[in-house]
Amino acid sequence: MNAASSKPGSKADRDALRQDMTAAGCSTADIAVEMRIRFRMRPREAWRHARGWTLQETADRVTECSERHSRESVAADASLVGKWEKWPGPSSRRPSLSVLFAMADAFACRVEELLDLEDRRALPEAELRLLVQPAPTAEAPAHQPSASPIVTASFPPKTELVRLAAGESATWAQWAEASNVGDIALEQLMAETRALASDYLTSDPLVLFLRTRALRDRVFALLEGHQYPRQSADLYVVAGYLCGLLAWMSSDLGQLREADTQGRTAWLCAELSGHNNLRAWVLSTRSKVAFWDRRLRDAINFARQGASYRTTGTVAVLLACQEADGWSALGAEDEALSALARADEVCTETSGEDGVGGIFSCPPARQENYAAAVQLRLGHPADALQSAERALTLLARQPVRAYGTEAQIHISQAAAHLAGGEAEGALEALAPVLVLPPDHRLEPVTRRLGELGARIGSARISGVAAVGLRQAIEEFCVNSAPRHLALSPGEASA
């Protein structure tokens, strides 16, 4: 491959350099030096590439060498080798003396050849003294490589080893005490997450998606660093809620497969944090995704699993509503009504506030919205109309009116009117929905409107109002957020 066609220092460049220098009779040490100079590599990385080994191959050889010479065992893996190579740079780990000796054995070089000036300045003084090797003698020519660096290294007195061990412990303690995130920063991250969950109720979903994705990336980057275990758990909580938000948004935009992926990642974060409220909200989100993906049994099972956790706030109410949703879609009336009754019971027993709120909360208007949809599927339009009217009354009292919830309530109203043959009443109920801007026309709204339009044809409702209603629904669904996303070149979902 032409060097101009690949990035300098690429595998093709390294392989070509190693082959050319080997053919010219150069030693591995010569190749390592050339790698360092030409590609600006750290010494340990240069030696690995001079040998032509991968990170995992190097890890296997380092582990084997440490065991073969009966010194302190080194359990290396590819990730650790990469961090040892980068040291003392960011996202690195300082190799211990045992690691350096084992690396030198593996590469068949002297320990000193694995260190540059930057490394020596960063090493504790006691360790640096241990690495001093005697100069070559007449009996051992300078060009002859030693069989093993540990043999030629001069061992210090036992008191020096004791001091060295103490220094190593102190160095580790400094690392363990350091953190890349403080309590104020964690509080800020959670505050930003709450703002996103609240803004999603009233703002354009694509704009919120990009903001949520950016914050998630910040949290993921922090988790790749080092912090106290308690802070790591808090970061996993924030990451879990953000992935849950992305899952909810993705499903609202009609991207159910991607929503499921976000849901699985959110669940991993919930498990790693051990946070029951997050577990329950993630399972609620996964139930929602499964429901719209028509995996109704999964939706019910996720809702039931979420309800098994001891939680605070309103998540238990939403989980019971979602279970009722699933049963009603399966036509299981007794189970659906039982789940709705349980939602009422849980609501009266709810204690504490929701930790995040916004989309991760279930106020009374949202509960009534679910009840109306369930009653419609069970063939109780009069009950559904009452629930929808109660939901609108309750929604008017809320400080934040979620346009998605409000639209679905009006759709339930319209469906109840339509069930009674009142096309004009249905059209009137839908009037606030039909004027929603395209960016607010989410998948649950367009899906339910589509189902409503199908009922007009199956019920054989005629008249000017019925024709106008069917036409308005078709135009609404064509010009929707999921459709715009599907037809876009992909910038918003990148």
In this predicted model, what pLDDT tens digit does every residue of 392-448 receive, in sequence order? 999 999 888 899 999 999 999 999 998 888 888 888 999 999 999 988 888 899 999
Q: Which of 335, 362, 389 is a domain's end point? A: 362
> In DSSP terms, which residues pair with 357 in a beta bridge?
360
Q: Which of 117, 146, 177 is a domain's end point? A: 177
Average pLDDT of the residues of the chain: 85
Tell me which residue of 90, 77, 101, 4 sits closest to 42, measured CA to CA: 90
Domain shared by 84 and 125, yes or no: yes
Q: Read off the DSSP letter of residue 353.
A: -
Q: Cβ distance 318 to 287 under 8 Å? A: no
Domain shared by 127 and 48, yes or no: yes
**pLDDT band with cut points at 50, 70 and 90 for residue 265:** very high
One-letter amino acid of 362: C
Average pLDDT on 347-352 reads: 87
For the stretch 15-49, pLDDT in tens is 989 998 999 888 999 999 999 888 889 999 999 99
Q: Provide the pLDDT for residue 451.
A: 87
Domain shared by 173 and 195, yes or no: no
Average pLDDT on 256-260 reads: 95
Q: CATH number, domain at 350?
A: 1.25.40.10
Q: Is 298 helix (H, G, I), strand (E, B) or coil?
A: helix
Q: How many domains does the chain have?
A: 2
Domain shared by 119 and 204, yes or no: no
Query: Is position 188 within any domain?
Result: yes
Q: Lowest-pLDDT range, 147-151, 261-265, 303-307?
A: 147-151
Tell me which residue of 361, 380, 363, 364 sits closest to 372, measured CA to CA: 380
State the CB neighbour count (10 A cutoff) for residue 58. 26
Query: Is position 199 within any domain?
Result: yes
Domain shared by 141 and 205, yes or no: no
For the stretch 49-74, pLDDT in tens is 999 999 999 999 998 888 775 456 77
Residue 136 has pLDDT above 50, yes or no: no
Structure tokens at 418: 């339509």
Domain shared by 57 and 122, yes or no: yes
Query: Is position 322 within any domain?
Result: yes
Residue 484 has pLDDT above 70, yes or no: no
By the 10 Å C-beta count (0-12 exposed, 13-18 middle, 19+ buried), 132 is classed as exposed
By the 10 Å C-beta count (0-12 exposed, 13-18 middle, 19+ buried), 262 is classed as buried
Domain shared by 85 and 187, yes or no: no
| Phi and psi angles of residue 360, each rounded to the nearest 5 degrees, phi first | -95, 55
Domain shared by 155 and 303, yes or no: no
Tell me which residue of 241, 259, 342 sits closest to 299, measured CA to CA: 259
Residue 125 has pLDDT above 90, yes or no: no
Residue 114 has pLDDT above 70, yes or no: yes
Average pLDDT on 247-267 reads: 95
Average pLDDT on 63-88 reads: 82
Residue 457 has pLDDT above 80, yes or no: no
Domain shared by 166 and 211, yes or no: no
Domain that holds residue 211: 183-362
Domain shared by 234 and 295, yes or no: yes
Domain shared by 95 and 218, yes or no: no
Domain shared by 53 and 68, yes or no: yes
Sign of the C-alpha dihedral computed for residues 436, 442, 446 and 449 taken in this order: negative
